[in-house]
Amino acid sequence: MNKPKEFWIKNMVCNRCLKVIKQELQELEVTVLSLELGRLLVEAPKKANNEIIDAVTSVLHANDFEIVQNEEEMLTERIKIILIEQLQELPLHIKVKTSELLASRLHKDYKTLSRLFSANQQTTIEKYFIKLKIEKVKELIQLKQHSFSDIGYLLDYSSVNHLSRQFKDVVGMSMTDYKNTENWKRSFYDEII
């Protein structure tokens, strides 16, 4: 009997991703033992190891995911997932610095994580997290349920002015202009870099 196989997956950043992958693997008689953002554990007692790898690879590729090939890529993906998870529950109240959060969750020195992330993604962790937050701001603006001040509070900005400056730097227009435009452009979290 084969041992369970573990895969780390690039760009898996939402719960819908999990549902699709699980369903498609079950159709190929691959049992999903554990599936969370970025990580998959499977077994298929009736299949050879290479058949399991081929099945997982084909399902992932068909859904625009990639298998992480090395530890550096795995750590980079785990950094992304941790940061994305921070934005799942609002209001966002960061009790510890992002650097401390990542270092403690990944059991690595933050400088090492920062260098690794920058080398793999051509941006810093801080800039990446800002882009994630700005995508969340766009979503909240489009929902039309919150004032700009409320959005600043929900995303733990020190002031609405700070949020406004950061939004304009990233998006290239003011939050008011974005709110009033008919052509809202948002990016999926897995497309942000």
What DSSP assignment string belongs to 37-106? Answer: TTEEEEE-TTS-HHHHHHHHHHHHHHTT-EE--SHHHHHHHHHHHHHHHHTSSSS---SS-HHHHHHHHH
Cβ atoms 81, 13 nearer than 8 A: yes
- Helix or strand holding residue 114 (H, E): helix 110-121
Q: Could you state, in order of their start, the residue ranges of all structural domains in the chain?
A: 3-65, 70-189
Rounded to a whole number of angstroms, the CA Rg of the chain reads 19
Q: What is the DSSP code (8-state) at residue 2?
A: P
CA separation for the pair 184, 191 (Å, rounded): 16
**pLDDT value, residue 193:** 66
Ramachandran angles phi, psi of 106, nearest 5°:
-105, -5
Report d(CA 14, CA 80) in Å as an integer.
12
- CA dist list (Å): 30 to 1, 33, 42, 46, 62: 14, 9, 7, 9, 16
What type of residue sits at position 10?
K
pTM above 0.95, yes or no: no
Half-sphere exposure of 44 (CA within 13 A, CB side): 18
CATH code that applies to domain 70-189: 1.10.10.60
Q: Which residues of the chain have pLDDT under 50?
A: none
pLDDT of 184 reads 80
Residue 65 neighbours by CB under 8 Å, 6+ apart: 9, 10, 11, 12, 17, 21
Model pLDDT, residue 149? 96
The pLDDT assigned to 33 comes to 93
**Whether the domain at 3-65 and the domain at 70-189 fall into the same CATH topology:** no
Determine the CATH number of domain 3-65.
Answer: 3.30.70.100
Q: Which residues face 177 on adjacent strands?
A: none
Q: What is the pLDDT of residues 131-186, one digit of tens each?
A: 999 999 999 999 999 999 999 999 999 999 999 999 999 999 999 999 998 778 88
